[in-house]
Amino acid sequence: MNLKSTGTQLVIGLIVFVTIMIVSIFLIKSNFGNSETTTSPELEQVIAETVAAIKLNVELPMTIDEYTTWTDITAEPEAIRYHYQIIADSQMLGLTDELLSLSLIEQGCTTPETRTLLETGINMNYTYTFNQPDDVLSTSVSITDCDDAKSE
């Protein structure tokens, strides 16, 4: 098995899984309304409620695949952060901040449900911690990333 392609598949699999979780909960929030009228405190409340609902419905840590464990999800101002532990070295998998960011932006911006979340102002932040304590990759995806990718 090619570790580099496994790393890319890992990223895509994680994105799909997390997107499904977020969209399911987000669609329940009928009071969220139009993103243009949503204030920062309302947005932060929706983010906090979404994170709390996910934590009630998903037992963490959760094994995603042979390499990946979803360890936590946290609310941040204007973002939801997903925390993952990868049982490998980022170099072994061929993952870099840039590759991770490009994969997450492509997936997030082209999946209609995820793009809808981004358009409401909810950013998605990701932290991947590998075997070594200082081997951490972090990236964020926002609607601006989608607009920038479209113009390239």
Domain ranges within the chain, ordered by starting residue: 3-151
Q: What is the pLDDT of residue 113?
A: 74
Residue for token digits 């607009």? 147
127: Cα separation from own chain's centroid: 9
25: Cα separation from own chain's centroid: 14
Q: What is the pLDDT of residue 37?
A: 43
| The model's pTM | 0.75
Give 13: exposed, middle or buried? Use CB within 10 Å, 0-12, 13-18, 19+: middle
At residue 20, does pLDDT exceed 60? no
Range 34-40, long-range pairs (CB < 8 A, 24+ positions): 35/119, 35/120, 35/121, 38/120, 38/121, 40/77, 40/78
The CATH code that applies to domain 3-151 is 3.30.300.250
